[in-house]
Amino acid sequence: MEPLLQALSAADACLTLDELEAATGLAYRQMCRLLRATLLAGWVKRADEGCYCLTPEGRDALANGTPLPPELVPATRHAARADTMMARLWTAMRTAERFCRADLIQLAAKDEDDARRLDGAARIYMSRLRSAGYLVRLQGTVRVNPTTRGQTRWRLAWDTGPLPPRPQHGAGQRVFDPNRSRVYSPDALVGPA
């Protein structure tokens, strides 16, 4: 919120959305969410069509460092996506730190049917995270089933935050990390450190 108010405060005239995006350095959507919240709080007003400026209340809030009222704090994707398979697998990885695929399924599954569905999803998701550098292979395997060779154990090397990194479809093996608002690709020399 602070970068947005600062950008508006520093400007002589009202700013358009594109100008605000450039001035704040925030992602367009994130900037729009903040702008909407500050509009509702009465800190920002629309001076002209598509052009915004700070109100006296907004200047006071910036000067005093007043936080937005909790009900106006923009909802993050964390809240909206809390129950997806990917989110549960990512939370399980952050919780367990070192794991094999069966460990993740055991932690994240709600019931036996869900466990079966998660198995395929975990296989793909872990493969993409490994390519992007999030997972580090540990020595040895663990036999979870007598009829298979055993599962590899992994360590979550880059715990970047609560939001699950999202594989980008049709874009090679790239992964978008909403915690850092960055895309990581397998050919990068370094992971999301």
Partner 1 sequence: MKPVFVTKISNVVAWLAAFEALKSRGASESCLMLVDGEPGLGKTRTAQWWGVQVGAIQVRAKQGWTHSWCLQDLYEATSGKPATTKSTSALFKMLCDALTERQVQAQRTGKTVVISIDEADHAVAGGKDVVEAIRDITDTLEIPTVLVGMDRVAKRLNRYPQVASRISQKVQFKPLSLADVRSVISTVCEVEVKDDLIAFTHRACGGYTRELKEAIASIERFGLRQSGAAVGVEAMRGQTLLHDRATGAPMVVG
Give the strand pairing for 15-16 and 166-167: unpaired
Position among 13, 64, 75, 139 found at the interface with partner 1 (CB under 8 A): 75
Helix (H, G, I), strand (E, B) or coil at 188: coil
Position among 109, 126, 135, 156 found at the interface with partner 1 (CB under 8 A): 109
Q: Is 70 in the site for partner 1 (CB under 8 A)?
A: yes
Position among 13, 25, 145, 189 found at the interface with partner 1 (CB under 8 A): 145
Q: Which residues contact 159 (CB under 8 A, 6 or more apart)?
A: 94
Angle 101-108/85-96 helices, nearest 10 degrees? 110
CA distance 168 to 68: 33
Positive/negative CA dihedral, 168, 171, 175, 176:
negative
Q: Is 136 in the site for partner 1 (CB under 8 A)?
A: no
CB of 179 to partner 1, least distance (A): 6
Q: Is 49 in the site for partner 1 (CB under 8 A)?
A: no
Residues in contact with partner 1 by the rule CB under 8 A: 67, 70-71, 73, 75-76, 78-79, 82, 88, 91-92, 95-96, 101-103, 105-112, 115, 119, 143-147, 159-163, 179
